[in-house]
């Protein structure tokens, strides 16, 4: 592996079988791993002890603050381990045994052409509950790039993350990866995808529905999450429009569909409608 990689798994109320299987794949691939827990209750103590028994660094936060803080704990762990790249993986994602080796090869191929312009490398396909999806591609010197990727299964150049101040903790949970992509691109680096690489990602309470002849994912997020999802995406919109109006419009369309599903086919529709509307307003104190 030419470019040293470390990994971080942010957790909250982790499923024991899932997180241990994920940790085993990562440590079995030779990566130093940090599991950063976002103030899970004491019911998570046994599985986090099992994780630590596997030689993994476990960071436990006393107050719930969102995924960005846990990802930043991974940045610190990666720097201490001497890594150049940080692989971020959600607790409910599934990695094939060869995923890390294939990702490392994709990093090497991209950097051989683009050098330190590569800011992140992601799987080209994500399998979630609605099926497989990919990213719109633009070729740069023959290397496939895209404006934005989800953070799970993505390797981030440590230097690029540190240059943008890490993952933005003011976003909490939603659009943390989108913000990182926007700012990495603003710094002159690129987000690369590996077309032959795929990752399985589950969404907690999601279910598929048919909309205009297409299968789409109703995520089932709680009303409070609906507010932050809308607010954070709108907060990023000016930066996204400045970089790529086409991508910004795609993002706003996805957001509109997501809200439409929340207020028409999910439970707690009225509460989600009110929370989504609140997301249109800036938070108090800003």
pTM comes to 0.91
The contacts of residue 212 (CB under 8 Å, 6+ apart) are: none
Instruction: Give the model confidence (pLDDT) of 68-112 as tens digits.
Output: 999 999 999 999 999 999 999 999 999 999 999 999 999 999 999
| pLDDT number for residue 72 | 98
- Which residue spans within 206-267 are E strands per DSSP? 207-211, 214-218
Among 7-11, 179-183, 248-252, whose mean pLDDT is lowest?
A: 248-252
Identify which of 212, 213, 249 has the alpha carbon closest to the alpha carbon of residue 233: 249
Instruction: Give the model confidence (pLDDT) of 26-42 as tens digits.
Output: 999 999 999 999 999 99
| pLDDT number for residue 1 | 43
In contact, 50 and 20? CB cutoff 8 Å: yes
Tell me the C-alpha distance between 247 and 233, whole Å: 12
* Structure-block tokens of residue 191: 């987000």
């Amino acid at each position: 592996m030419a470019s040293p990689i470390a990994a971080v798994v942010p957790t909250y109320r982790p499923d024991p079988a899932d997180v241990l299987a994920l940790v085993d794949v990562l440590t079995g691939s030779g990566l130093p791993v940090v599991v950063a827990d976002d103030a899970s209750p004491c019911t998570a103590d046994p599985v986090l002890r099992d994780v630590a028994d596997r030689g993994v660094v476990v960071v436990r936060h006393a107050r719930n603050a969102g995924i960005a803080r846990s990802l930043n704990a991974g940045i610190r762990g990666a720097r201490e381990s001497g890594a150049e790249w940080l692989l971020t993986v959600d607790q409910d994602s599934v990695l094939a045994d060869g995923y890390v080796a294939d990702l490392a090869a994709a990093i090497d191929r991209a950097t051989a052409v683009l050098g330190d312009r590569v800011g992140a490398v992601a799987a080209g396909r994500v399998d979630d509950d609605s099926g497989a999806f990919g990213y719109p591609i633009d070729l740069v010197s023959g290397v496939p790039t895209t404006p934005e990727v989800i953070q799970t299964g993505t390797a981030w150049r440590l230097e690029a993350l540190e240059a943008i101040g890490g993952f933005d903790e003011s976003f909490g949970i939603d659009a943390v990866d989108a913000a990182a992509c926007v700012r990495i691109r603003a710094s002159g680096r690129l987000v690369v995808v590996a077309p032959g690489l795929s990752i399985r990602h589950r969404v907690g309470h999601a279910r598929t529905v048919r909309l205009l002849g297409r299968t789409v994912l109703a995520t089932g997020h709680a009303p409070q999450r609906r507010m932050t999802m809308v607010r954070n995406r709108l907060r990023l919109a000016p930066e996204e429009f400045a970089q790529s109006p086409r991508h910004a419009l795609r993002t706003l369309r996805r957001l509109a569909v997501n809200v439409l599903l929340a207020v028409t086919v999910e439970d707690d529709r009225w509460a989600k409608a009110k929370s989504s509307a609140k997301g249109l307003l800036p938070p108090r104190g800003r």
